[in-house]
Structure formats: C-alpha cells, structure tokens
Amino acid sequence: MRDILICLDGSAISKQAIPYALAIAHAFKANITLLHVLEYSDNNIKTPVDPFLWALQKQEIEIYLDDIMSNFPANTNIVTSHIVEGKAAEEISHWIKKHPVDLVVLCSHGANGYSQWPLASNSQKLLFGSKVSTLLVPAKEHQYHQEQPLHCKKILVPLDGSVWAESVLPVALSIAKEQQAEILLAHVIPESGLTHIMPFNNDEIALENSIQRHNEKVAANYLEQVRKQLSSLTTLDISSILIPKHGVCDELLQVVAQDDIDMVIMNAHGRSARAGRYHGNIAMDFLANTKVPVLLVRGITPQDDLLRPGNTYQSELEGRYPQRAY
C-alpha cells in the first residue's frame, strides 16, 4: 500500500477516518492524497451556478484541507490535497482509475449526518463498486480531534482456509506492529450440511456428528498452524478463536463486540469467491453491519479464467500459508 486516498466531504464526521488512514500510512510509509469533490446538486444541473458562491465554497474547502494537512505528524510521508468538481462517487471512481491508488479510505457518513441506513449513498457506491482495497470507518457521535493518534489494541482477522483470506496476513502484521496490537485469528467452523426432510435417524445423527468432529479437528489444526507461523515472525500477541456455529457474519460481529475489537482486516473474497464480483456475500454483509473500522483487502482478486465452473484455483493446490502470504 504505497498510495492512500482519503475521501473527505468537508464535514467533521468524514475526518474521523483520518487517524486510521495515518496508522496504515505509517505502517507502509505510504503517500497520502486528500480528495474533496465540490459536488453539483441536482438543482445545480438544472439551473446556472452562481460563480461567486461556487468560488466561496471552493475557498472554504481549501482552508478545510489545509488545516487537516497542517496537523499531520512530522513523520508522515508525502501528503497532497486536490479538489475536483462533479458528482462525488463518479469523480472519486474516475480519480482512482487515473491515479495510483492502493487504498481508499471512507467514513460511513458525512456532511448529511447520520441516518437509519448503515452507509451513506456515496460510501455505499464506492465500497461495493470498487476494485481497490477500501478502509471503511463507521461514523461515531463524538467530536473529532486530529491530535489524538490512533491506538488499536486488538485486530481481528477472519480466515476461512483460502489463500485469498490468508493474503491479508502480511497487511495485518504490518499494521499490528505499527500499533503494537494483538492479532486475533478467527475461523467459523462450517455446519455438516446434511440434507434432511424427515427427522434424522440414528445413522444420520452419527454421520452428522462425525462430520462435525472432523470439521472441528481440521479447523483447529489449521488455525494453530497459522498462529504458530505468525508468532514466529513477531513478538506481538497472536491468539485464535474457533467458532463452532453457523451464520458467519453474525458470529464474527459477535466476536467483535465481545472481544473489544478495534479493527477488522479481511479479504473481499474467500473460499466461495465467484468471478466478476468485487466482493463476496459475507464481506458485503459484514460491512453493512459493522460498528468498527474494516480494512477490505482486494490485493488478490480471483480471475475469471481461474474461476470457471468446474475449475479449481491452481494456487489452492500449489501452496498454502505461509508460502502464498509471504
């Protein structure tokens, strides 16, 4: 992550994402770009824009961005700011396509304030329609103070056994080192998945129990192997949790709440990845319901030719963690 784009709409709420962006920028010595879209409203499209008011709005945003930049720590890498004009989601997407951007940082809400929806419309468009890794920071009802640095105590990394899920481990390790945070590895054990219409007989119950014990044993061995490999690379605390239930998103959200998680780092895809999709269903569901910042990594994206029906992703066969992750 060499170039980080922070999207700001001129509000104090949107600035809540800055400490998280700074933490990641310091971990990777990345450049930071502050981007604001001086947005046309629907009325502006139909009626002429007052040039004086438009210039005044632009001047206010320039002061807003300059103030943010002046408060960045001295050890921050290159920081620049830009103002573009148009519709917010469209202009930001256009910027991403035309410039080197490795991570987009968004706040869930902005100038329009809080609403009954978990995401503002522009955040939702960018989050679910982008191919670039994204950090989503849920807006909170407290005043923003840029001079207060971020301190994450615990980072959650969900793993499903796929190389896509594991590919976030180097990212998580770098951020955890920067923050001196504990890493919690989580794996939700899948259900046996036996089809039944009538109540199970004794043989079917025994089969289901046998499959469940197998899943638990394999999951425990897998998670312990990953934990040991990570622990050999750092002095940070690396712990793991097995979740022997169904409903992956609900279970992960419960872990976030119960274990006081400060940040979640996950891949946009997992074992059930499908070609042509920017993210999986679990990632989308989790982002729509989370109360903590989520770094959604899209660094390793499934290719269409590798995910045709009946094909197995070759890297799944060629290597497991840590060969693929490091």
List, as one string, the DSSP characters of 120-187.
-HHHHHHHHS-SSEEEEE---SS---TTS----SEEEEE--SSHHHHTTHHHHHHHHHHHT-EEEEEE
Domain 154-289+307-318 sits in CATH at 3.40.50.620
| The pLDDT of residue 247 | 72
Rounded CA separation 21/16 (Å): 10
Dihedral of alpha carbons 283, 222, 308, 190, sign: negative
Architecture of domain 3-137: 3-Layer(aba) Sandwich (3.40)
Q: Edge-to-edge strand order for the sheet containing 154-158?
A: 79-86, 31-39, 3-7, 103-107, 133-137, 294-297, 263-267, 154-158, 182-188, 238-243
The pLDDT, as a whole number, for residue 115 is: 59
Taking the C-alpha atoms of residue 146 and residue 23, their distance in angstroms, rounded to an integer, is: 12
Around Cβ 310, how many Cβ atoms within 10 Å? 4
Predicted TM-score (pTM) of this structure:
0.81
d(CA 52, CA 63): 17
**Fold match flag (3-137 vs 154-289+307-318):** yes
Beta-bridge mates of residue 297: 267
Helix axes of 169-179 and 202-231: crossing angle, nearest 10 degrees: 50
Beta carbons within 10 angstroms of residue 111's beta carbon: 13
Beta-bridge mates of residue 305: none
> What pLDDT does residue 141 have?
65
Residue type, 40: Y
Query: Which pLDDT does position 161 carry in this prediction?
Result: 85
Query: Which pLDDT value is given to residue 180?
Result: 92
The H or E element containing residue 37 is strand 31-39
Domain boundaries, the chain: 3-137, 154-289+307-318
Decide if 166 contacts 325 (C-beta within 8 A): yes
Radius of gyration of the chain (CA): 22
Residue 109: left if φ>0, alpha if ψ -120 to 50, beta else—which one? Answer: beta
User: Which structure tokens are listed for 294?
Assistant: 């989520």
| pLDDT score of 306 | 44
Q: Round to whole Å and give the CA distance between 180 and 235.
A: 10
Digitized pLDDT (tens) for each residue of the chain, 326 residues in all: 899 999 998 888 888 889 999 999 999 999 999 999 888 765 545 556 677 787 888 888 899 899 999 888 888 888 899 998 888 888 888 899 999 899 999 888 766 655 556 666 677 777 777 788 999 988 876 656 555 678 889 999 999 888 888 989 999 999 999 999 999 999 988 776 677 777 878 887 888 788 888 888 888 999 999 999 999 998 999 999 998 776 788 888 889 989 999 999 998 877 655 544 556 677 778 887 888 999 999 854 444 434 444 444 444 434 444 433 33
Q: Please tell me the predicted confidence (pLDDT) of residue 231.
A: 92
pLDDT value for 280: 61
Cα dihedral 173, 134, 270, 302, rounded to 10, equals: -110
Q: What share of the chain is helix, strand, coil (3-state, %, to 5)?
A: 40, 20, 40
Determine the pLDDT at residue 71. Answer: 86
* CA 282/CA 275 separation, integer angstroms: 15
Q: Do residues 162 and 266 lie in contact, with contact meaning Cβ atoms separated by under 8 Å?
A: no
The confidence score (pLDDT) of residue 181 equals 94
